[in-house]
């Protein structure tokens, strides 16, 4: 404008997707399956933020106490994101799908939240940062990479925000653990507790059950589930 005539006949027609935009429709999950997974996410995030909040008063280490309080909110926010996503996935009663993937997952949470005594900070942190959060990262990553980039974009957006928290929190927790595990006995305690919890988690199959990260046997070379 202002520097010469505009060609009234210059076409403004463009392809709906720019050349660099390679998003595509196909996705591995139906609406119902997505809702089921989101319900599992919400249930587990809730259990995690409740545990972190409850543990704050039980740990004597001041830096750990403050980290748990901070991470408590992160996971509450994740639960809220999923709570709000469920009605968008045709589940008007979010509580109906706010359930564990299976009985083993419920058992895992019970075992993870069992340590309470002030001298069991290592066990508390191991359960969250060496078992549960790595499973969250795996399940979220699988979901993000396998759902439809167009039809399920809202879920992907939430997962991306959540994954940022999960990675940051995992790093916080792992560094706290490394700073606290300073003797062979500490190593033994951490390993034994992790082994116990990991076994239950394997039974559960992950945050959303056996298909939390797909199965290598059935996953095609194209990356579909």
The least CB distance from residue 112 to another protein, in Å, is: 10
Give first-to-last CA distance, the chain, whole Å. 52
Residue 219 binding another protein, by CB under 8 A: no
Cα 167 from Cα 219, distance rounded (Å): 26
Of 100, 115, 127, 173, which lies in the binding site for another protein, with binding defined by CB under 8 A? 115
The least CB distance from residue 131 to another protein, in Å, is: 16
Residue 196 binding another protein, by CB under 8 A: no
User: What one-character-per-residue DSSP string does 157-219 give?
Assistant: HHHHHHHHHHHHHHHHHHHHHHHH--SHHHHHHHHHHHHHHHHHHHHHTSTTSTTBTB-TTT-
The least CB distance from residue 72 to another protein, in Å, is: 5
Cα 212 from Cα 121, distance rounded (Å): 28
Residue 60 binding another protein, by CB under 8 A: yes
Strand partners, 212: 214
**Nearer Cβ to another protein (34/121):** 121
Residue written as token pair 């429709």: 25
Using CB under 8 A as the criterion, what x/- string covers residues 79-98 for binding another protein? Answer: xx--x-----------x---
- Residues at the site binding another protein, with contacts judged by CB under 8 A: 46, 49-62, 65-70, 72-77, 79-80, 83, 95, 113-116, 118
């Amino acid at each position: 404008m202002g520097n010469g005539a505009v060609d009234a006949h210059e076409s403004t027609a463009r392809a709906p997707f720019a050349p660099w935009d390679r998003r595509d429709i196909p996705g591995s999950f139906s609406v119902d399956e997505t809702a089921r997974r989101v319900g599992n996410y919400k249930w587990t995030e809730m259990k995690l933020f409740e545990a972190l909040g409850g543990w704050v008063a039980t740990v004597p280490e001041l830096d750990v106490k403050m980290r748990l309080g901070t991470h408590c909110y992160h996971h509450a926010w994740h639960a809220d994101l999923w709570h709000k996503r469920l009605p968008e996935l045709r589940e008007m009663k979010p509580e109906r799908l706010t359930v564990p993937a299976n009985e083993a997952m419920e058992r895992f949470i019970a075992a993870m939240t069992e340590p309470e005594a002030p001298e069991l900070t290592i066990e508390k942190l191991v359960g969250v940062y060496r078992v549960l959060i790595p499973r969250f990262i795996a399940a979220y990553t699988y979901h993000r990479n396998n759902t439809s980039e167009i039809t399920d974009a809202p879920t992907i957006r939430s997962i991306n925000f959540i994954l940022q928290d999960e990675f940051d929190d995992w790093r916080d927790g792992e560094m706290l653990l490394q700073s606290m595990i300073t003797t062979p006995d500490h190593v033994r305690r951490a390993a034994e507790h992790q082994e116990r919890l990991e076994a239950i988690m394997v039974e559960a199959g992950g945050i959303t059950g056996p298909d939390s990260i797909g199965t290598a046997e059935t996953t095609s070379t194209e990356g579909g589930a």
